[in-house]
């Protein structure tokens, strides 16, 4: 019997499908130290973003040799020491196709929220206020959006932005020139920073200093909107707060934070910030697709 630990939970349909194939599925979160003992007993470890799988966990799993596969239910695998796991003979997979539309739609939702004060204005109404004249927003139609990272999610967002009458500037080290048209073209990073009304990040966590910092913010247009549904560490939060306070950045839509759960109240409570608690892939449809991919990966690995 294949034993599977889903440390950050799993969609019910996927659990049922795996159990129908004779697998045993345990859904239980373990703190980092406790996870080292738990992984020794399982053939498969399935994680989302909350669980971090580091070298000590992999070393612990090697003591019994049971663990053969780690699956990240989602796109980024920076919470797993992938190279180390694979060097030790443990396969690492993810589900990159499943959540693209969900994350793209959330990024677009944050654009609307920032441009029209949806989150803030709604909050003030719940406080019994009617501040109609305080929230004169801007329209997205006709704006230029710079998308940093033009893979599955970036392209999904780009299509939606173009449908709204926006122009897309895309930066990516891999370029599919067939995507270029009158409303979308690839550019270098400095051109994207200088010419975008809105900048949306769709890249993994990058080494070195954050992608968005005081230096890169200075290169942006005055009044730019920043959207981040990628990784919180891609943004220097202190630099962003300073730019929001000065008006250099019109507003920010953030689904991810440098520390999660978010502790930087000066950022998430800022009146120019629309924020959500890392829910990019949290749709019914995306969870079903992620679950289906997980079932497919496990079935292929173990010949189920």
| Residues marked as catalytic | 231, 260, 278
Helix, strand, coil percent values for the chain (each to nearest 5):
40, 20, 40
* Sign of the dihedral defined by the CA atoms of residues 78, 80, 81, 82, in that order: negative
What is the rounded CA–CA span in Å between residue 257 and residue 233?
A: 7
Q: Could you tell me which of 105, 75, 77 has the C-alpha nearest to residue 289?
A: 75
For 50-77, b/e burial (b = at least 16 CB within 10 A) is ebebeeebbebbbeeeebbbbbbbbbeb
Residue with tokens 């990058």: 206
Cβ(148)–Cβ(203) under 8 Å?
yes
* H or E stretch at 103: helix 100-116
Cβ(227)–Cβ(233) under 8 Å?
no
Which residues are bridge partners to 226 per DSSP? 199, 252
Residue with tokens 């940093």: 148
| DSSP helix/strand/coil, 226 | strand
Query: CA 152, 157, 159 angle in degrees (round to 5)?
Result: 95
Q: What are phi and psi of 108, to 5 degrees?
A: -65, -40
- Cis bond leading into 194, ω under 30°? no
């Amino acid at each position: 019997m294949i034993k599977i630990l889903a440390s950050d939970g799993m969609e019910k349909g996927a659990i049922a499908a795996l159990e129908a194939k004779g697998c045993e599925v345990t859904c239980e979160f373990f703190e980092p130290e406790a996870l080292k003992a738990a992984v020794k007993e399982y053939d498969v470890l399935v994680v989302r973003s909350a669980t971090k799988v580091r070298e000590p966990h992999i070393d612990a799993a090697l003591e019994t040799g049971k663990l053969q596969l780690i699956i990240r239910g989602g796109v980024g695998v920076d919470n797993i020491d992938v190279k180390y796991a694979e060097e030790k003979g443990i396969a690492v997979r993810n589900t990159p196709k499943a959540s693209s539309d969900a994350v793209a739609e959330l990024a677009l939702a944050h654009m609307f929220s920032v441009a029209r004060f949806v989150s803030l204005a709604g909050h003030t109404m719940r406080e019994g206020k009617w501040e109609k004249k305080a929230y004169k927003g801007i329209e997205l139609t006709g704006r230029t959006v710079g998308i940093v990272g033009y893979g599955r999610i970036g392209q999904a967002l780009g299509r939606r932005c173009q449908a709204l009458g926006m122009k897309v500037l895309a930066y990516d080290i891999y370029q599919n020139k067939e995507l270029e048209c009158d409303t979308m073209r690839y550019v270098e990073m400095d051109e994207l920073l200088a010419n975008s009304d809105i900048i949306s990040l769709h890249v993994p966590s990058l080494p070195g200093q954050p992608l968005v910092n005081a230096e890169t913010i200075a290169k942006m247009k005055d009044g730019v909107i920043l959207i981040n549904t990628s990784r919180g560490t891609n943004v220097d939060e202190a630099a962003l707060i300073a730019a929001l306070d000065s008006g250099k950045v019109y507003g920010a839509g953030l689904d991810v934070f440098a520390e999660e759960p978010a502790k930087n109240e000066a950022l998430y409570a800022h009146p120019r910030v629309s924020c959500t608690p890392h829910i990019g892939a949290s749709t019914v449809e995306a969870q079903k697709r992620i679950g289906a991919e997980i079932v497919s990966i496990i079935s292929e690995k173990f010949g189920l």
